[in-house]
Each structure stands twice: as structure tokens, then as C-alpha cells.
């Protein structure tokens, strides 16, 4: 009887030690599970945003999904399924269109980052194609340091990097790598 009592008293601390050893937590894993920074605080479906100035619509943004992250160090809004932005001139006419497969708006910086099949078309029909573009909303500029292709009525220009006003009417192509002049069928 003495042996059973001694056995019960010695097994209890041994069981507690095994429990404590087997339940140790990796602090990084616990932080990752409990971290709310990687979860959006707000999700909007089929978002349509219009920005106005002096009672004139300046731009309209459409996105299938918008996720807001105001809790992160640099508050942002993610558009994981792309954006379609229409810019309007001073008379309310459509002047430029920007599309991308993914975009991020950095709220406090008034800066956007568009990625994946980025296309910009201005009111002259000139088209920019690139994989990455930044839009500085405050200074009304768009730019990239990635490969670009600009197609106009009479030429196709290839380069690496560009800078333009947000209407894509005045632009500079950096590191031009090629240029193709297009002929009208009448001239051929």
C-alpha cells in the first residue's frame, strides 16, 4: 500500500512537467495567429468611388473588392481584384482611363501602387502598357521604372521607365529601347 501511495505522489509532478514541456509556445507563432494587422478592418464589394472638386467629378474608381487596413503603421486600402479608374477634365468629360489587376492606396501619402497588366489610355487614344505604375495623387503624376510600351497613332515606343501627368498627355520615356513607326494603309 505504501508503494501505490508513493507512486501516485511522484507521477503527479512528472505529469505536470510533461504537460508544461509539451505546451511551450513559439512567441512568433502566437504573434502571427493573434496579429490583426494582416486582416482587413473593412471589406467592400463592387465599390464605386467618385472624387469631386468644386462640384465637378474628377475621377471615378470601380473595384470588385476593396480591403481597408487603417490599423497598420502605414494605413492602406488594397484592391486585390483590380481597379478601373476614369479621370475627368475640367468640363466633366472623360480624359484618361487607368486599369490594373491589383492596386494599393497608401492613404496618408496620397500615393497609389498599381500592378499587373497596367493600362493607361488618354483622350488622344495613346496607350501605356506596363506591369507596375505609381500614381502620386497629390502632385497629379504617374510614373514607373519598369518596362513600358506606349502606342500612339503612328508609333510604338518601348522603354524602361516613364513619368507623366495623371492625364497621360505629357510624358517622358526613360531609357528608350526601341521605336516602331506605323504606316497608314494609304501610304503603303
pLDDT tens track for 147-158 = 999 999 889 999
Residue 32 has pLDDT above 60, yes or no: no
Among 127, 133, 137, 67, which Cα is nearest to 100's?
133
What is the pLDDT averaged over residues 18-34?
56
Specify the pLDDT at position 31: 54
Residue 113 has pLDDT above 80, yes or no: yes
State the chain's maximal CA–CA distance in angstroms: 112
How many CB atoms neighbour CB 53 within 10 A?
9
Average pLDDT of every residue of the chain: 84
Q: 3-state DSSP: the chain helix, strand, coil percent, rounded to 5?
A: 15, 55, 30
Specify the pLDDT at position 131: 97
pLDDT in tens, 67-109: 999 999 999 999 999 999 999 988 888 999 999 999 999 999 9
Residue 8 has pLDDT above 60, yes or no: no
What is the pLDDT averaged over residues 45-55?
90
Task: Indicate the DSSP class of residue 154.
Answer: S
Among 77, 63, 86, 72, which Cα is nearest to 105's?
77
Quote the CA–CA distance of 32 and 147 in Å, as a whole number.
Answer: 36
| 11, 20, 117, 132 from 7: Cα distances, Å | 6, 20, 71, 70
Q: Which fold has domain 38-181?
A: lipopolysaccharide transport protein A fold (2.60.450)
What is the pLDDT averaged over residues 131-153?
94
Amino acid at each position: 500500500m505504501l508503494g501505490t501511495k508513493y507512486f501516485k505522489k511522484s507521477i503527479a509532478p512528472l505529469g505536470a512537467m510533461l504537460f508544461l514541456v509539451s505546451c511551450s509556445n513559439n512567441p512568433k507563432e502566437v504573434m502571427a495567429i493573434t496579429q490583426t494587422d494582416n486582416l482587413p478592418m473593412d471589406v467592400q464589394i463592387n465599390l464605386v468611388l467618385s472624387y469631386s472638386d468644386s462640384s465637378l467629378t474628377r475621377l471615378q474608381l470601380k473595384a470588385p473588392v476593396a480591403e481597408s487596413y487603417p490599423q497598420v503603421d502605414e494605413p492602406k486600402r488594397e484592391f486585390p481584384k483590380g481597379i478601373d479608374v476614369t479621370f475627368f477634365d475640367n468640363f466633366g468629360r472623360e480624359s484618361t482611363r487607368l486599369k490594373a489587376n491589383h492596386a494599393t492606396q497608401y492613404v496618408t501619402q496620397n500615393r497609389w501602387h498599381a500592378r499587373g497588366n497596367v493600362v493607361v489610355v488618354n483622350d488622344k487614344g495613346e496607350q501605356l502598357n506596363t506591369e507596375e505604375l505609381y500614381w502620386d495623387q497629390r502632385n497629379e503624376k504617374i510614373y514607373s521604372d519598369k518596362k513600358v510600351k506606349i502606342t500612339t497613332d503612328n508609333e510604338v515606343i518601348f522603354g524602361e521607365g516613364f513619368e507623366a501627368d495623371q492625364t497621360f498627355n505629357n510624358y517622358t520615356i526613360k531609357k528608350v529601347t526601341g521605336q516602331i513607326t506605323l504606316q497608314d494603309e494609304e501610304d503603303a
